[in-house]
Amino acid sequence: MSRHATAMSVAPAPLTRRAIFAQAWPIMVGQATVPLVGIVDTLVVGRTGDAAALAGVALGATIINLVFWSFGFLRMGLTGLVAQADGGGARREVEALLFRGIGIGFALGLALFALHVPITALALAMMSGGTQVSGEASAYVSARFFGAPAALAVYAMTGWLLGLGRTRDALLLQIVMNLANAGFDVALVWGAGLGAGGIGAGTAGAEWLALITGLAICSRIAGVGPLALLRRTPRADLLDPEALRRLFAVNRDLMIRTIALLFAFTWLANAGARLGATTLAANHVLLQFVSVSAFVLDAFAFTAEARVGQAIGAGSRERFLRSVRLTSEFAIAGGLVLAAIYWLAGGTVINLIVTDPATASIAVAFLPFAALIPLIGAPSWMLDGVFIGATQGKALRNAAVLTTALYVALDLTLRQTGNIGVWIAFTTTYLLRAATLGAYIPGLMRSIDGKDILANSASAP
C-alpha cells in the first residue's frame, strides 16, 4: 500500500493548548447543536401542553437512540482508523476507509428500514409507556426509520472528517442537519399538527439532506467528485482482506460497547416510565442537560481521538501522553463551567421548556443530579476518546458491559426509593465507566511502548 502524503491529510499541528482548542471548538459548537435538536423537539411538543405526546417522543427517542447508536461504531471506528492511517501517511487507506464506512452504513440502514415494523413492535412491547404514550412513540419511531440509511452513512462520514482533523467541515455538516431538523419539526408539528410523528419525520428528512451535504464536503476535500474518487481508489485497497478484518474487528467490539451503554439509557427511560408518564417526561427533560454536557465535552474527547490516533500512527509515545493531558485539562474545566451553569440557571430553563406544572416540578427537584454529571462524567468521556483513538475496542467493550451490569444491579437494589434511586444509580454509571476503563491504562501504555498497538486493536476475544 502506498504511504505518501496527500492534500487531503492535515499535518499534525503543534501540541499546544491553543492548537487543541482550535481543533476542538468547531466540534464543541457542532456537538452542542446535537442536544439542542432534542431540546427543540422537547420544546416544540412541550409547548403544545400534551404530556402524552412529550412522553411519546421521550420513549421513541430512547428506542431510536438504542437502535441507531448501536451502529455508532461507524463514527467511532472510522475516526481512530483514519487518524492512524493519516498519521502514518497512508493516503490510499484514508480514501478507502471513506467508501468502506459509507457503504457499510448505507447497507445497514437499508436493513433497519426493511425490519422497522417488527423492531418497533418489539421495542414498544418491552417498554412500560401505556397505550396512549406507546401510540405516540410508535408514530415517532416509524417515521425515524425512513432516515436510517442516510443517518448511518452520515455517521461514517463524520468519523472520517474527525479522523482527518477536519473539524470545521464536520461542524458544517452538523449545523446543516440540525437546522434542517429544527425547521422541519416546527413546520410539521406547529404547522401541520402531526405531533410526535411529525418530530420523527422532520428528523428523517434532515438526515437525508445531511447525506447529500456530507458527500459534497468529502468531494471538496478530495478534490474530485464521489464517483471519480471511487474510480481512483484501487479495488485491491478497497477490499483489502487485512484492512477489512481490522475494520470489522474494531467495529464489532465498539458495537457491543455501544449497545451496552445504550441499554443503560433505555433502562433509565423504562425506570422513569414505571413511575408514570409525568416522571418519564421530567426525566427526559433532565436528560437534555446530560446530553448537552456529553456532547459539548465530547469536543475534547473527539480531539483526543484524532490526536491519539495520529500519535500512534506516527509511533510517538510523547505525543500520545501530551495529547491526553492537554485535552483532559480542557474537559475538566468545561465540566466545572457546565455544572455551575446548570446549578444556577437550570430551573429557569426547565420552566421555559415545559408548560405542564407537574412535569416541571419533578424536573426541578431532580436537577442537582443533572448538574453533577458534567463533573463526574468528564473523566469517563475522555477515556472513551483515548481508547477509541487507540482503536482498543476490546477494552471499551469489556468496560461498558461491566458498567451496565453493575448499573442494572444497583437500580434494582434502589427501586423501592422511587425516582431518587433511579438517578443515584444512573449517576453512578459515570464513575463506573471511568474506573473500568482506567483499569486498562497500564496495558495500553505497554502496547504503545511495545509498538504492538495496531495488532492489539484488531485482536479477537
339-360 in b/e burial notation, b at 16+ Cβ within 10 A?
bebbeeebeebbeebbebeebb
Buried b (16+ CB within 10 A) or exposed e, 104-134: bbbebbeebeeebeebbeebbeebbbbeebb
What pLDDT sits at residue 367?
94
Domain boundaries, the chain: 17-457
Closest CA to 294 of 40, 20, 32: 32
**51 CA to centre of own chain:** 27
- At 331 the pLDDT is 93
Grid cell 482503536 is found at 391
Please give the Cα distance from 380 to 399 (Å, whole number). 11
The confidence score (pLDDT) of residue 46 equals 61
The position carrying cell 487485512 is: 242
Report the 10 Å Cβ neighbour count for 2. 11
- Taking the C-alpha atoms of residue 292 and residue 28, their distance in angstroms, rounded to an integer, is 10
The per-residue pLDDT for 13 is 54
What is the model's pLDDT at position 455?
A: 44
Per DSSP, the three-state class of 354 is coil
- Residue 459: its pLDDT value, please? 42
- Convert the pLDDT of each residue in 102-153 to its tens digit: 988 999 999 999 998 888 888 777 765 556 667 777 888 888 899 999 999 9
Which residues of the chain fall short of a pLDDT of 70? 1-14, 32-39, 45-53, 89, 127-133, 191, 193-194, 234, 237, 449-461
Q: From CA 220, how far away is CA 7, in angstroms rounded? A: 11
CA dist., res. 181 & res. 143, Å (int):
13
Give the pLDDT score at 401. Answer: 95
- In this predicted structure, what is the pLDDT of residue 52? 64
